[in-house]
Amino acid sequence: MILISEVGPRDGLQSIDRVMPTEAKKRWIAAEAAAGVREIEVGSFVPPSLLPQMADTAEIVAFAKTLPGLNVVALVPNAKGAARAVAAGVHGMSIPFSMSETHSLNNVRKSHTEMLAEIAKVAAMAHDAGVHFAVGLSTAFGCTLEGAIPEEQVVRLAAAAYEAGVREFSLSDTTGYADPAQVRRLVRKVRDAVGDALTTLHLHNTRGLGLANALAGLDEGITTLDASLGGLGGCPFAPGASGNIVTEDLAFMLHAMGYDTGIELDALMKVREIVAEALPGEPLYGFTPDAGLPLGLADRVG
């Protein structure tokens, strides 16, 4: 089974200026869970002064935890945010560790050395609280501020984070620079350093290669793919980094290929209406919602 992890309520909403009403967020999350989405990144524990879109994350976590079978996760920027996430009762939390030091300084105001110390603190905190902890190796495929990131640097920093206590990683194409050959190559190299702790790809479709990169990751044994409903998302601290993989298109592709995701496609398509109503005029992307599901899809999936 392939896990599609919905990141729209965090990555999507943090990238737009408007603040989605809390009740609309709850309807969105409940509808996706009802459609069979098993993991949702419901928000981030960052200071509301920086991202007012995330000010209600603790309330959203409390609501999401009432939904049967849903793994409720949140992003944290540091140990202080992790403490808030633990207090809110998240099932899991992740911290972004930028492979570009320039991006790291812009995003979380910390150097690589400082981030590794922070990661060690959060890993210990998560262990003590029984909360799952993962690290997203962001800008792993390139950075709009630094350009190409040496693959050896990504491997070295991943290994250092593993030594700091991290037991799950994602490779994140924060800026939409990745291509399928690079995905295959970097997954193999990072796996050599951290083994099966690398489970996830967080890909953007900025240059139209999101689904191709996802397939490359699947070929290398990746089992979790992040995606955002309607393709909402980006990174406010990486200029030009727009466009997460569209959840609807990814789910369709996987179903059409015979992968089991546990998601009911018809129900997933209808979730889009909730987001469109709450964010009128906000661009939503995706080919499958516009074209509709092909006749006979269920027969082909089996």
Q: What is the DSSP string of the chain?
A: -PEEEE-IIIIIGGGSSSPPPHHHHHHHHHHHHHTT--EEEEEE---TTT-GGGTTHHHHHHHHTTSTT-EEEEE-SSHHHHHHHHHHT-SEEEEEEESSHHHHHHHTS--HHHHHHHHHHHHHHHHHHT-EEEEEEETTT-BTTTB---HHHHHHHHHHHHHTT---EEEE-TTS---HHHHHHHHHHHHHHHGGGEEEEE-B-TTS-HHHHHHHHHHTT--EEEEBGGG--B-TTSTT-B-BPBHHHHHHHHHHTT------HHHHHHHHHHHHHHSTT-----HHHHH-PPTTHHHHH-
- At residue 297 the predicted structure's pLDDT band, cuts being 50, 70 and 90, is confident
Q: Name the residue range of residue 279's domain.
A: 3-301
What's the pLDDT tens digit per position in 13-63?
Answer: 998 889 999 999 999 999 999 999 999 999 999 999 989 999 999 999 999
Number of structural domains (the chain) is: 1
What's the pLDDT tens digit per position in 155-194?
Answer: 999 999 999 999 999 999 988 899 999 999 999 999 999 9
Q: Which of 235, 238, 250, 274 is catalytic?
A: 235
Residue 143 falls in the annotated catalytic set: no
CATH of the domain at 59: 3.20.20.70
Its pTM stands at: 0.95
By percentage, how much of the chain surpasses pLDDT 90?
Answer: 86
What's the pLDDT tens digit per position in 241-265?
Answer: 458 999 999 999 999 999 999 999 9
